[in-house]
Amino acid sequence: MLLSSGVLALALIAGPVSGLASDNDHERARQALEAGKVLPLGAVLDIVERDFPGQVVKVEFEEDDDEFIYEIRVLQSGGGILKLKIDARDGALLAVKGRDIKFKGKD
């Protein structure tokens, strides 16, 4: 995976990914990680890569009422895009959208 030029500290904490949403996402994610409220992005990406074959093409960090969610898009081999919502606290899959979903994980 390639690292976008605009991604700095979160990428250093989490590892490379091709697109993080914004500097604001980056700062909120860093603060939540330092406070022990969320898993590092690298750990979440390990789960995603284990369960959903393909390439991570976009990552967004969302916070709503102190709930933290990683929205991750995965380009699968057939060209389909999956949109995953992952609980940033524990890595649990909250939702998946897409066509012809290829899933390697547990049901």
pLDDT in tens, 53-80: 999 999 999 988 889 999 999 999 888 9
Q: What is the pLDDT of residue 45?
A: 96
> Is 2 a domain residue?
no
Contact 11, 3 (CB under 8 A): yes
Query: Domain span at residue 74?
Result: 9-97
> Is 35 a domain residue?
yes
Instruction: Report yes or no on whether pTM surpasses 0.85.
Output: no
**CA quadruple 59, 15, 56, 19: dihedral, nearest 10:** 50
Domains contained in the chain, number: 1
Secondary structure class of 77 (helix, strand, coil):
coil
The model's pLDDT over 33-44, given as tens digits with 9 standing for 90+, comes to 999 999 999 999
- Domain with 38 in it: what CATH number? 3.10.450.40
> Is 3 a domain residue?
no
> Is 103 a domain residue?
no
